[in-house]
Structure 1
């Protein structure tokens, strides 16, 4: 009876062991939910070496990693160019040489296995560089002459700018005048625009701003007088070109029907004349004196310049009228050509006498600018009237 009980117990133990082996085999053949979810790459990350700052122009190695089951089979690198991602490398690591500040946030990688792929984010790179784009701003933006203004310097740099230095242009040199991100100027003048600049520096180098344009408000100054000479003539066919000469010089000084002096100086004091030409021939106008005693920006010289311009206009008009009358008279005469030349010579002599009279009346050669101012202030109308013909 005891033997039978032992056999039964042994049989039950064998049966239990067989059941356990069956369950183990079944479990190994059935995939779990976790196995199904981890098939394709997840959480794709990029690390850089060095990681604590890459000097601009240096090198860096990027490494891609991802969790996947089965493991990642391939890594592909891309670089952002404009609006496109260009494939640049294949492999878990990618090295970049001569790196620039524009390279940050331009690289990413793709991890792939037999079940799919995934991308990393664009990679932030800690690129170290000297200051760039150094700019100066002013406050206020409009500064009355004699007032004050505060200049502020700014720049892009990594690490941030450590020192700001201010300079002022003096002649051909830049003089250091201050330190700090801001600099104040008092009693500013109209000559101070484009004279100030700053230098931004960090441990990797430095850079300068441009000279600072300042909008300085001021009353009228540095006045000058302009005079325009105009050459008039009668021709058929019409005149093709006008050329201006300074008496005593062989090279032309200007081309066109008018010749303007933007600001008269002593060097401009000389007679000027024009030459006209068409396909039939050419002719010269009688020289007209343009004279400046001292600085024509003074009030007296301003009046004199006006009268001088008025004289020039009248003289050219007289020449045009005389030449036209002479031409008409010559056509009615059987000896027209010879008579026209003779009349022309007589007309030039008459005009020359008129010029001498006008020039003597103004007396610009022998009097100072103050004398001329005094006389023209009280008698400018008379002087200018005497120039009429």
Structure 2
């Protein structure tokens, strides 16, 4: 092997190296010696001590399987050390032996080993700015930093700085962050979770099924918040009616109808939901029949019966019956009675059906007598009074004629 000069020398490309724990590092040396000598042995060793014969790094038990030598004819000789450990922090020197003597290169290369640590606040409030720092214990050579959020690369841009700035943080910025260095992407820092505090948002109300009179109804308030919601407040017509996440109305009635909303509160603030309207459904009730005559002439005249009721959803069908007749006599909200008899209507919606009290109609050649069956209650009494007033008007009109 030829010599490049006539003096003994060893030069290192760098005297200080910083490597990421777990990575591979290369230490380079160039040497010269007097002409006429032949190099018969070259190796690297650690922590030189004058007067003590060094040990080839390949024979050091702590480096077994991790050392590779790379040399060429131009007197370049490099050490490739893989899977760098914290215990590898030493001074590394190159030695070569010739037929005449050996030579060690001082002072050697000082190796420092670092891992990556992500420095970030554990919690930040929405709207604030935050800086995440990728920290090392020694200075890497011209590093390019890569940032990850929830294992996904944040950007394709390169970062010469080891700091990531998040401006006006929002809830979407919450997540698990870590950093790495280009070339050692498989050796990222431990993940650091960034928690973002924000007041409740996306407040909504869900209902448990159809709201039918007499049933149990649950209204559940949901929202997104950090920290979690501390209190829930329910309102009906501006009055506070509940303090739990789920507001329950047992045996719901028409009086419970109206608008409801909930308010979510945490340490960062509060927000109201939009109002929801409880529309209580019920089967027909308060069935009544009203009566009107078809004209001035009594003989051969008819009576029109109109059925009314209170129901939700609205009545789907009206059916008219005459007592002591097996089948119905008519349909629709109004019915034209041509014969004397007891008549009643039956109304139905999807929740059920109900019938009115029977109305007795007597049609003669000289008058029309209308009265209600016994036991009609207040609604029957109203119909009687209405009919009497009509008869009074009708008789006065006949006398005038």
Q: TM-score, normalised by structure 1?
A: 0.43
Question: As a proportion of its length, which structure holds more helix?
Answer: 1
Q: Which has the higher strand share?
A: 2
Q: TM-score, normalised by structure 2?
A: 0.42
